[in-house]
Amino acid sequence: MRLLVCGGAGFIGSNFVRVRVRDHGDDVVVLDKLTYAGRRENLEDVEHEFVHGAIEDPRAVTEAIRGADAVVNFAAETHVDRSIAEPDAFVRTHALGTYVLLESARAARVRLLQVSTDEVYGSIAEGSFTERSPLQPSSPYSATKAGADLLVSSYCETFGLETLICRGSNNYGPYQYPEKLIPLMILNALHGDPLPVYGDGLNVRNWLYVEDFARGIGHVLEHGAPGEVYNVGGPDESTNIEVVRRIIELTGADESLIEYVTDRPGHDRRYSLGSEKVRALGWEPEVRFAEGIERTVDWYRERRDWWEPIRSGEYRAFYERQYGRALS
């Protein structure tokens, strides 16, 4: 299959491209704007074509979609904290970008899979969200992602475009930009920097190893029914502080590095996805959190060449603004 993968130079997109080329022999064209989170290095071991451009640019999309059998859209602004500080790029990419992609997919008559998030449902105290749960996003990030999901579904209803939506839970694994909880804690622990934990650390997340999500997206692309939404949740739930304590054990850092900091405004307490629908389609997560977190810590230990340029670049300034202190 020939795939156009938008946002394929980011964390999940690059893992998806690796899985599709390695395990399925797909031809892949990556279209990516290369924001701070997108890096050509993430794909240097994978054969692919690369188009440098934005999904909101109709010319770039028209060029990149030529000959594709399907489009998979990962392109997004993905950090909730940045969406609170500077929401405009989130609106542009998620609203306008998704619209341009939908129009191009419609003109080219190809299937489009939108990669979405459990955050569109908001927080849930008990039980799990199904695909029929109402959308109640809390942040500019999740609200603009929810808007994109609705627009995608409307193109199936109105124009008969074959659309699919995969809503994933919190991903972790290799190639994740260190602003996110797990790589942030691993790199700070390895450097002996404080480990900033929001609020009381009891926010609960449903952790999904990135290769499991990548396989799930491919599975839905091949077997999903047009117009349908599929939740793709991880096998384990954990509080943030449990995750941080496990990282401390695996890196040999000191517990005294934990520092509780002022909570994020509108911070969702708990996410939980019911994934029966995608399981019925034949997908299962393969990596439990206990194993995935060990693999992830090992990867960051070994790939100093990957994260050192990030930790000494734009990320330093972001970290200082966000946490009011410098990295070591």
Residues near ligand NAD (CB under 6 A): 6-7, 9-13, 32-35, 37-38, 54-56, 74-78, 93, 97, 115, 117, 145, 168, 170-171, 177
Please identify which of the residues 56, 77, 81, 141 carries the catalytic annotation: 141
Residue number with CB closer to ligand NAD (77 or 212): 77
Residue number with CB closer to ligand NAD (7 or 196): 7
Least Å distance, CB 192 to ligand NAD, is: 26
What's phi and psi for 131, nearest 5 deg? -65, -15
The verdict on whether 118 is a catalytic residue reads yes
Least Å distance, CB 314 to ligand NAD, is: 12
Least Å distance, CB 275 to ligand NAD, is: 13
The residues, any chain, with a CB within 8 Å of residue 284's CB and separated by 6 or more, are none
Q: Which amino acid is present at 295?
A: R
Q: Which residues face 6 on adjacent strands? A: 31, 73
CB-based closest residue to ligand NAD: 10
What's phi and psi for 174, nearest 5 deg? -60, 150
Residue number with CB closer to ligand NAD (93 or 188): 93
Residue number with CB closer to ligand NAD (43 or 110): 43
What's phi and psi for 200, nearest 5 deg? -95, 0
Least Å distance, CB 11 to ligand NAD, is: 3
Least Å distance, CB 89 to ligand NAD, is: 7
The verdict on whether 276 is a catalytic residue reads no
Gyration radius (Cα) of the chain, Å: 19
- Whether the Cβ atoms of residue 255 and residue 248 lie closer than 8 Å to each other: yes
Residue number with CB closer to ligand NAD (72 or 257): 72
Say how many C-beta atoms besides its own lie within 10 A of residue 93's C-beta: 22
- Whether the Cβ atoms of residue 231 and residue 164 lie closer than 8 Å to each other: no
Please identify which of the residues 77, 118, 193, 236 carries the catalytic annotation: 118
One-letter-per-residue 3-state SS of 60-102: HHHHHHCCCCEEEECCCCCCHHHHHHCCHHHHHHHHHHHHHHH
The verdict on whether 149 is a catalytic residue reads no
Catalytic residues: 118-119, 141
